[in-house]
Chains A and B, each alone.
Chain A
Amino acid sequence: MVDSNVVLWGQTIAYTFYCLVIILLMLWFGYKITKTGKSNVVRPAIFYTFVGFLTVLGVSLHIITYNTIPWAPVDLNRGDYNPDKTFEISVANHEFILPSDKLVINCNDLVLFDVKSNDLTYGFGLFRQDNSMVFQMQVVPGHRNDILWKFDKPGIYTIRSTEYSGPRGVFMVLKDAVEVTPCEGV
Chain B
Amino acid sequence: MSFKNTFIHGTEGLFKPDSLTQMQKIVLRFVVVGLIYYGFAVIEGMIMRIYEVEQIPLINTNQFFAILTAHPLVGIFGSTYALVFGAFLFLTPYLMKKPLYSIKLANWSLILLASGTFIFWFAGFISHYAPLYTLYWPLPADFSQFSVWGGTFFILGIAILMVGTLFFIINIFKTIVYTPEGWEKQPSAALLGSAIGYSGFRNLFRKKENRKEHLVPLPVAAIARGTVDMVLNTSIILFTGVLILIYMLANILGVDLKESAIDALLYKNWFWWGLDLIADGLVLIFVAGTWYLIATMITGKKLFMQNIARAALLLELVVSWTVWSHHLLSDQAQPAMLKIVSGELVTAFELITQGLAFFITLATLWSARPLKMTNPLKFLLGGLLGFALAVPAGIMQADVGLNRILHNTQWIVGPHVHVAVLVGLTMTLYAAVYLLFPIVTNGAKLYSQKLANIHFWLHLIGGIGMGAFMGMAGLKGMLRRTLYVDGEFNLYMILAALAGSLLLISFLAFFYNIVMSVGLKGVIGIFTPSKLKTKELLPES
Where the two chains meet, the residues of A that have a C-beta atom closer than 8 Å to any C-beta of B are 4, 7-8, 11-12, 15, 18-19, 22-23, 26, 29-30, 32-37, 40-42, 44, 47, 50-51, 54-55, 57-59, 61-62, 65-66, 69, 71-72, 75-76, 119-121, 123, 125, 127-128, 130-138, 140-147, 160, 162-170
On whether the beta carbons of B331 and A61 are closer than 8 Å, the reply is no
23 CB < 8 A contacts A-B: A26-B388, A30-B381, A34-B371, A34-B372, A37-B370, A40-B368, A50-B359, A57-B351, A61-B399, A62-B348, A65-B401, A75-B404, A76-B336, A128-B477, A130-B477, A131-B476, A131-B489, A133-B409, A133-B477, A141-B138, A143-B264, A164-B136, A170-B483
On whether the beta carbons of B370 and A143 are closer than 8 Å, the reply is no
What chain B residues lie within 8 Å of A47 (beta carbons)?
304-305, 308, 359-360, 363
What chain A residues lie within 8 Å of B415 (beta carbons)?
15
* Bound-state Cα–Cα, A61 to B370, Å: 37
Query: Is B365 an interface residue when CB atoms closer than 8 A count as contact?
Result: yes
What chain A residues lie within 8 Å of B62 (beta carbons)?
167
* Bound-state Cα–Cα, A162 to B332, Å: 14
What chain B residues lie within 8 Å of A32 (beta carbons)?
369
On whether the beta carbons of A140 and B268 are closer than 8 Å, the reply is yes
The contact of A4 among B332, B333, B405, by CB within 8 Å, is B405
What chain B residues lie within 8 Å of A164 (beta carbons)?
65, 132, 136, 139, 481-482
**Contact status of A146 and B402, CB under 8 A, knowing A29-B381, A41-B367, A164-B482:** no
Q: Tell me the minimal C-beta distance from A112 to chain B in angstroms.
A: 11
* Bound-state Cα–Cα, A57 to B362, Å: 20
What chain A residues lie within 8 Å of B345 (beta carbons)?
59, 62
* Bound-state Cα–Cα, A39 to B464, Å: 32
* Bound-state Cα–Cα, A116 to B280, Å: 31
Query: Is B352 an interface residue when CB atoms closer than 8 A count as contact?
Result: yes
Q: Tell me the minimal C-beta distance from B423 to chain A in angstroms.
A: 11
**Contact status of A66 and B400, CB under 8 A, knowing A12-B475, A121-B136, A131-B488:** yes
On whether the beta carbons of A142 and B260 are closer than 8 Å, the reply is yes
The 4 closest A-B pairs by CB, nearest first: A58-B348, A69-B401, A72-B401, A143-B333
Q: C-beta contact mask, B257-271 vs A, less than 8 Å → 1, else 0?
A: 001100111001000
- Chain B residue with the shortest CB-CB distance to A160: B479
Q: Tell me the minimal C-beta distance from A119 to chain B in angstroms.
A: 8
**Contact status of A26 and B330, CB under 8 A, knowing A136-B408, A142-B263, A165-B136:** no
On whether the beta carbons of B405 and A163 are closer than 8 Å, the reply is no
What chain B residues lie within 8 Å of A62 (beta carbons)?
344-345, 348, 399-400
What chain B residues lie within 8 Å of A65 (beta carbons)?
399-402
What chain B residues lie within 8 Å of A169 (beta carbons)?
482
Q: Tell me the minimal C-beta distance from B8 to chain A in angstroms.
A: 37
Q: C-beta contact mask, B410-434 vs A, less than 8 Å → 1, else 0?
A: 0000010000000000000000000
* Bound-state Cα–Cα, A125 to B408, Å: 11
Query: Is B521 an interface residue when CB atoms closer than 8 A count as contact?
Result: no
**Contact status of A166 and B352, CB under 8 A, knowing A131-B488, A136-B330:** no
What chain A residues lie within 8 Å of B64 (beta carbons)?
167
**Contact status of A22 and B396, CB under 8 A, knowing A131-B489, A170-B482:** no
Given A33-B365, A143-B332; 5 other pairs, CB 8 A cutoff:
A15-B415, A37-B370, A75-B400, A135-B405, A138-B328
Q: C-beta contact mask, B54-88 vs A, less than 8 Å → 1, else 0?
A: 00000001101100000000000000000000000
The contact of B369 among A33, A72, A166, by CB within 8 Å, is A33
On whether the beta carbons of A121 and B348 are closer than 8 Å, the reply is no
Query: Is B504 an interface residue when CB atoms closer than 8 A count as contact?
Result: no
On whether the beta carbons of B475 and A36 are closer than 8 Å, the reply is no
On whether the beta carbons of A146 and B332 are closer than 8 Å, the reply is yes
On whether the beta carbons of A40 and B333 are closer than 8 Å, the reply is no
The contact of A127 among B131, B464, B477, by CB within 8 Å, is B477
- Chain B residue with the shortest CB-CB distance to A4: B405
On whether the beta carbons of A140 and B385 are closer than 8 Å, the reply is no
* Bound-state Cα–Cα, A79 to B307, Å: 47
Instruction: Count chain B residues whose beta carbon lies closer than 8 angstroms to a beta carbon of A.
Output: 85
The contact of A15 among B264, B330, B363, B392, by CB within 8 Å, is B392
- Chain B residue with the shortest CB-CB distance to A19: B389
**Contact status of A167 and B130, CB under 8 A, knowing A58-B352, A143-B265:** yes
On whether the beta carbons of A76 and B408 are closer than 8 Å, the reply is no
**Contact status of A11 and B482, CB under 8 A, knowing A51-B356, A54-B355:** no
What chain A residues lie within 8 Å of B396 (beta carbons)?
11, 15, 61
What chain B residues lie within 8 Å of A41 (beta carbons)?
367
What chain B residues lie within 8 Å of A23 (beta carbons)?
385, 389, 464
Query: Is B188 an interface residue when CB atoms closer than 8 A count as contact?
Result: no
What chain B residues lie within 8 Å of A145 (beta carbons)?
331-333
* Bound-state Cα–Cα, A160 to B481, Å: 13
What chain A residues lie within 8 Å of B477 (beta carbons)?
127-128, 130-133
- Chain B residue with the shortest CB-CB distance to A7: B405
**Contact status of A71 and B351, CB under 8 A, knowing A35-B369, A40-B368:** no
Query: Is B384 an interface residue when CB atoms closer than 8 A count as contact?
Result: yes
What chain A residues lie within 8 Å of B363 (beta carbons)?
42, 47
What chain B residues lie within 8 Å of A4 (beta carbons)?
404-405
Query: Is B536 an interface residue when CB atoms closer than 8 A count as contact?
Result: no
Q: Tell me the minimal C-beta distance from B483 to chain A in angstroms.
A: 5
* Bound-state Cα–Cα, A8 to B355, Å: 25
The contact of B331 among A138, A142, A160, A162, by CB within 8 Å, is A138
Q: Tell me the minimal C-beta distance from A10 to chain B in angstroms.
A: 10
The contact of A30 among B348, B378, B476, B488, by CB within 8 Å, is B378
Q: C-beta contact mask, B79-123 vs A, less than 8 Å → 1, else 0?
A: 000000000000000000000000000000000000000000000
Q: Which of B331, B371, B405, B476 has the most CB of A within 10 A?
A: B405
What chain B residues lie within 8 Å of A40 (beta carbons)?
366-369
On whether the beta carbons of A167 and B61 are closer than 8 Å, the reply is yes
Query: Is B478 an interface residue when CB atoms closer than 8 A count as contact?
Result: yes
Query: Is B146 an interface residue when CB atoms closer than 8 A count as contact?
Result: yes
Query: Is B228 an interface residue when CB atoms closer than 8 A count as contact?
Result: no
* Bound-state Cα–Cα, A15 to B411, Å: 12
What chain B residues lie within 8 Å of A76 (beta carbons)?
336, 339-340, 400
On whether the beta carbons of B400 and A72 are closer than 8 Å, the reply is yes
On whether the beta carbons of B305 and A121 are closer than 8 Å, the reply is no
**Contact status of A26 and B331, CB under 8 A, knowing A11-B402, A132-B477:** no
